[in-house]
Amino acid sequence: MITEPEPIHTDLWHRDREEIHILQDQVAGSQVGSELDAKGLLLRDALAIVTVVGALVAFYGMIKLVSYLAGIPSP
């Protein structure tokens, strides 16, 4: 038995609206998961501060090590 192929969407406006709703649902779902509460923001900021301070301490240590190896007296 030969069946006819499914009809091609002739109502493009309806199909586009369905696709827009699907995309909006996906975006809304991802935004809910990415929202941070106040505690999470505070933790993120504290981690950023610790990272910057650690980088500065490491840089200072490298300068001290290079000056020691070069024989430059430290004050």
Helix or strand (DSSP H, E) at 1: none
Angle of CA points 12, 15, 21, to nearest 5°: 140
Q: Is the pLDDT of residue 69 over 90?
A: yes
9-67: pLDDT as tens digits: 556 666 777 777 777 777 666 555 556 688 888 999 999 999 999 999 999 999 999 99
pTM for the full predicted model: 0.47
DSSP 35: -
- Write down the pLDDT at residue 23: 77
- Write down the pLDDT at residue 34: 57
Asked if residue 49 lies in contact with residue 55, where contact means CB atoms within 8 angstroms, the answer is no
Greater confidence, 33 or 7? 7
Helix or strand (DSSP H, E) at 28: helix 12-34
